[in-house]
Each structure stands twice: as structure tokens, then as C-alpha cells.
Structure 1
Amino acid sequence: MKQKIQFTQSMRWYGPNDIVKLSDLRQAGCTGVVTALHHIPVGEVWPVEEIRLRQQQIADAGMEWTVVESLPVHEGIKTKSPDWPRLIANYQESLKNLGACGIKVITYNFMPILDWMRTEVSYELPEGSKALRFERLAFVAFDLFLLQRPGAEQDYSPAEVARASAHFEAMDSDARAALFKNTMLGLPGSDVPFTPEFILSTLGTYAHIDAAALKNNLKDFLQAVLPTAEAAGLKMAIHPDDPPYSILGLPRIVSTAADLDFLLEAYPSTANGLCYCTGSLGVRADNDLTDIIDKHGERIHFVHLRNVKRDAAGNFFEANHLDGDVDMYAVVKKLVQVMQETGNSLTMRPDHGHQMLDDLQKQTYPGYSAIGRLKGLAELRGLEHGILNAL
């Protein structure tokens, strides 16, 4: 009997300072670890010795590191700044070094300035666990009255501005402080929050960059780095926008099925692929997640499985992995079929998890406490096992 191909089960680890230890991930059943060299400034080269050191730390814990999440793309690349040639050369050098060390997949994103965005990182669910949530009205209030972005009111309808104003007036000082803190978390893996001065000044560099221009810059980036990735034996996997629509008036260009079509056509090679994130893509009701797999299954190189509960107003929270508006059974079944057809195991991680049980008393990076992710991994492993047995 032909052996059935399964997911390579992994979790994200933020390095030696992560409160969640490698031994915790191993006990959860992981065979792989997804991580990055967060201590190296964005835009600088990742040296071979630093890569090998991180690999050895993970190997000593009984697991392997073959997927980078993420090799960040500097803002100067996204805006095509005068420093673009140097930044591209550094990115190419990092890719060469990662390939030489046996890394297989490089995750990245092309979201301007901000990474993933939530307005609430401790949204209490009925049973007492805590989830991540995005409330559109709260974010509009942040944009208008806390960040005070010049011209922000032009991006919203008069009715939405009025509702946001009333919402902000009803918030006490603690609620306003919490909203400000949550929206200014900073890049994943960093304990340095954004500042209004940084965001407002960086926004100026995007003043003349609309969605079409940003797509052209993404295409230029792909054409510059993918030959290097191919030569190094690497596959690139772009993470979708989170949330998958414009925020702060900035274009977001990896949000829809049409965006994915553009991306993959911009450099038609299997090295140019996707980090298939059900949580990001699933926020939009017009994204058909199984159709994306049918169309681009062979270009999916890394999988984030996460569920969301959304509404028509643009609000959503992160639900249990098998609940919410994403049909996780249909998604996993499609991905399992892709693996059998290609003969390749996809690295999968349970993306985010609820803060629960003992972790409610711990300070962890939002979405990355241990027990909630263990619960999600266990549920997803069981789902995959049932699907495989039914093949």
C-alpha cells in the first residue's frame, strides 16, 4: 500500500527569548519549528553562522527548521526607494545563505508599514478563554482620534466618521489606552512597539503609491529575488494581507483571489508560491478558499490553519480552529488531496490560538500562547487523520 502523505506539523517559535520553549513544542507533537532571526535588523544580511546556530538549537530539541517565517521585506523595497539596489542585494545574499544551510521555504509579506492588525488582543469568549479580534469601528476611531492621520476622514463615509466619533467619546481612558497599545504592537517577534511618529512619517513615503504602483513594486521584487531563490533551491511563500483590505489608507495587494492570480502570473515558477493562510483569506466572504486550492494547489508551500468568525460590518474574531466561517474540513481535505497528488508534505502550523487555562496568567506574544495552539494542533491532527483514513 502506498504511504499517504501527511502534513509536517509545526509551530512558530520566536527564538530563545520566547516564553514558549522548544521542549513545549516537541511535547505538543511538532516535528518542525517555524522561526526567523528576529534579532537581525530588517534589511540586513542573515549570516550563515547565525542561521546554523538557530538550526542547531532546534535540532538539539529533536526538531528541524526548514521554513523561515519570515524574512522581512524592507519598506525601502516596497516603496522602491533609492536604497532599493542595496536592500535587494542583501535580500539575495540572505537567500543564498539560507539555501546553503538547507532551508526550503521562505515566508514573507508585502503589507505596507504594518503587519497583522487587531484592535483587541484579549477578547473574552463565553467560556473564559481569550482571542484576537478586529473591530472596524474601533480601528476607525484609532485612525481619526488617536493616530490623527492627516486626511483620514476622507477614507471613511460621513456616517462612519460620526459612529466612530460616538464610539470614541464613549470610551474611557483605559479603553483608549488599550486600543492604542493593541494597534501599535510592532512587528511579530519584536517587543518594540510602533510610535505614531514612525507610522506618520513612513506613511509619507507611500503618498504617491497606489495599489497599481505597489503591485508593480512587488513584481519587481519577485523578478529580482526569485532567480536567486531558485538557484538556492528555495521556494518563496507570500503571506496574505491581514486583514485583507486597506487600512490607514494604504493599498493592500494580496487580499483576494484576483491578487493571488496576479502574483503567481508575475513570475510563473513553482518557486513563486503562497503561504496559504485560512485566517487572513477567510476574513473576506468573497474569497472561495477551496477554489484557491483547486487553482493554485501546486504553488502552496506553507499552510496556516486558523478560523475566524466575521460579520458584514468588517469585524471578526479568531474562533476555535474547527469552528467559525472557514469550512476547515473542506480546506484540509483539499490540502490532503494536493499532498497525495504532488507527493510533497506541506508544513502546517495551527495559526494563533486562544489564551486559556494556565496561560491566562502568562505574558505571551498575542496569539502565541502554548496551550491554545496545542489544542488547535490536536484538533487539526485529528481532522487530518480522519480524512486520510477515508481516502
Structure 2
Amino acid sequence: MRMTFRWYGEGNDTVTPAQIRQIPGVEGLVWSLHDMPAGEDWPEERIQRTVKQIRDAGFHPEVVESVNVHEDIKLGLPTRERYIENYKRTIEKLGRAGVKVICYNFMPVFDWMRTDLFKELEDGSTALFFEKSKIDGVDPFELVKLISGDRSLTMPGWEPERLARLEELFEAYKGVTEEDLWRNLEYFLQEIIPVAERSGIRMAIHPDDPPWSVFGLPRIITSQANLRRFLKLHDSPANGITLCSGSLGANPENDIAAMAREFAGRIPFTHIRNVRVYDNGDFIETSHRTQDGSVDIAGVVQALHETGFDGYCRPDHGRHLWGEQCRPGYGLYDRALGIMYLWGVWDSLGRRKLQGEVSA
């Protein structure tokens, strides 16, 4: 398991690389050009400048999250060809820069959805929260205004240019079914995976967050069966999954450890976090510790360990602790605590395996 930490870039993150270096075992920064609109061709000079900055800070730049997919591709419009060509060129440039994994998603309109960015937990910390009753039957435009957050920092999936098109996008998705989305995703994969193969990059789709329809929009990367179907769309090592325990774990029917075992070898990247799911469908993000949420995080890590996982991992969203002012879900302290919990489980599994081999 190769530990990484998401970093939003100088001037766009409250956490610095110098602080991240003090977290044991972190070797890479997960990055992106967050100001690039979806569908644009990333400039090589900017890619190389960012990669140098990351390397100079003592990290590798091998994971990019995300190269956003333009809505015209998801909708299957004739204009998608232009955006797919831009995507291919960006993959090639990232390959030349030493990138090994690109995390992306295929969620219509919203990359993620919460109803409260700073819901207070029992211990006084705050966390991202999803309240089902605020989604069902509510005006999405009003909700977006309510939780659009601190605009001094970019919030991936909530970029200003995307929010400005909400009404247009909702109109465009009227009548678009899940099967339409599957067809458009398959077309996209057929175009980009051969480029990724040549560039030495593994594409890793991120599950939908949450893993069900929001505001009537279709969502398809939601379950073990759908991940199985996804991998069959283009059977290549370059077509993989970002296994996100938090996104998938919001649905109690999803067995993340079983997914880790079934899809071993097709998971180049993992996001590990915990969520507490309530009987009414609400959920809140918690510490990474297994007993604090509804996801068996220790069991997920064990499944990865047993299947020889050697890909990239990062602690996903954390709580906001000790009065830290940060981007929602992306402070320093709880993610650092999460890393140490993950290392503790991983190291104990390694020790147990070694002792078993010695005893044998």
C-alpha cells in the first residue's frame, strides 16, 4: 500500500507539503489543475511546473484526481468528440510527466452531494453530512446556494462554471436514462483506454457519491454488480476502479471488503474513510476507526492486504478538529489520524502474517 495525501496546490489549500511530510509513510501528493474547466486540454507547461513543485517538496506526483469529464461526453452529444480529443491529449501529457493513475468520475452534474458541510458530532468536531429529507422534493438550486461553501477555495465538483449552468444541465438530462449513461460511458472508455495503455496510465473511476440517484439524475457506479459491469465494458488493466469505502459505504448493502477481493488487480487507487449511516438514509462522515461508523474499515484494509494490494491509497474526507479552518472534509488533523489508523491495521496484518510463516 502506497500512502498519498490529496493536496489542492499552493494558495488553494490550508495544508502545506511541509506539514504533510511530517505524517509517517506519505510518499505522494494527489493533485490536479483545479482551475481547469472540464473538457479543456491541460497545458504541458503547467503540468510540468506542478510536477516539479511536488517533487521538490519530496513527494511523487503519480496520482491525479481529477481530470474532469465534460457533461457533453456524459450526455453523448455530438460535441463530445472535441472534449474526448482534449482528454486524450491530457492523458498523453500526464503520462510524459510520470503520472501513473488518473481518478475521474462519470456522475451527471454533481460530483458529490451533501446537505451540511459542518454538521457537529457528539465530540464537538464537525463533518460532512447528508440529510435525505433535504434532498427529496427540494429545489436543487436553493440547496446549491445554501452549501456552495467558501469560494476562496475551489471545491471540486462545485466549480463556478458548472454551477452557472445548473438550469441548462438539468434540462439537458431530462429523459436521459441509466442505460443511456452506460452507453456513453462505454463510448468514452473505448476512446481513452487505448491512449491510457500507451501512456502507462491506469484510469480509475470513482464511485458515485452518494451511490444512488440525486434529484432524479441517473447514477450507475453504485454497487458491486455495477462495478463488475463497468470493468467488462473495456477489459484492460488500464480500466480500473478507485475503491472509495465512504462513497460506496453510504449504502449499507454494499460490502466493500468483498469488492476489494473480487476486483483485486483492477484497483489502482483507494479512498478509505468511514461513514455512520442512519436508519432513515441520512449519513455523516466520522473518524476512520471502524467502530465509529458503519463501514468495517479494518475489514476493508484486511481484504486489500490479503489480495496483495500494492496500489495507491489516501485517507479520504476527515472531520474538522480542534477549530481548524479548512476546506470542508480536507483538513490536516483528522486525515493524519486516519493515516495512522490505516497504517496500524496494515502493519498488524503484516506482523501476523510474518508470525504465521515463522510458526509454519
Same-fold status (TM-score > 0.5)? yes
Q: 1:250 to 1:183 in 2, by over 3 A?
A: farther
Equivalence for 2:239:
272
Question: 1:192 and 1:88 mapped to 2: Cα distance?
Answer: 20
Identity %: 39
Tell which deviates more after alignment, 209-218 or 26-35: 26-35
Equivalence for 1:354:
319
Instruction: State how 1:170-185 maps to structure 2 within 5 Å.
Output: 180-182=145-147
- The amino acid across from 1:351 in the alignment is D
- The amino acid across from 1:300 in the alignment is I
**CA apart distance, 1:199:** 1.4
Give the TM-score taking structure 2 as reference length.
0.92
Equivalence for 1:135:
131
RMSD: 2.0
Q: 1:98 to 1:248 in 2, by over 3 A?
A: same
Question: 2:345 and 2:254 mapped to 1: Cα distance?
Answer: 23
Equivalent position SS for 1:64: coil
Task: Please tell me whether residue 46 in structure 1 is matched to residue 42 in structure 2.
Answer: yes
Equivalence for 1:15:
9
Equivalence for 1:309:
276
Equivalence for 2:335:
373
One of 243, 253, 261 as aligned partner of 2:220:
253
One of 22, 31, 34 as aligned partner of 1:27:
22
One of 268, 288, 293 as aligned partner of 1:324:
293
Equivalence for 2:189:
222
**CA apart distance, 1:99:** 0.8
Equivalence for 1:72:
68
Equivalence for 1:199:
166
Q: 1:299 to 1:204 in 2, by over 3 A?
A: same
Task: Please tell me whether residue 237 in structure 1 is matched to residue 204 in structure 2.
Answer: yes
**Structure 2 alignment gaps of length 5 or more:** 354-360
Deviations 1:28-57 (A, max 9, x none): 232111010112221111122211111111
1:184–1:193 Cα contact (<8 Å) kept: no
Question: 2:150 and 2:247 mapped to 1: Cα distance?
Answer: 18
**CA apart distance, 1:117:** 0.7
Question: 2:65 and 2:341 mapped to 1: Cα distance?
Answer: 23
One of 54, 74, 83 as aligned partner of 1:87:
83
**CA apart distance, 1:312:** 2.8
Question: 2:227 and 2:159 mapped to 1: Cα distance?
Answer: 31
Task: Please tell me whether residue 107 in structure 1 is matched to residue 103 in structure 2.
Answer: yes
Equivalence for 1:147:
141
Bigger Rg, which one: 1
Give the TM-score taking structure 1 as reference length.
0.85
Question: 2:280 and 2:320 mapped to 1: Cα distance?
Answer: 25
Q: 1:83 to 1:141 in 2, by over 3 A?
A: same
**CA apart distance, 1:305:** 0.4
Tell which deviates more after alignment, 90-99 or 373-382: 373-382
**Structure 1 alignment gaps of length 5 or more:** 1-6, 149-175
One of 328, 334, 349 as aligned partner of 2:303:
334
Question: 1:194 and 1:123 mapped to 2: Cα distance?
Answer: 27
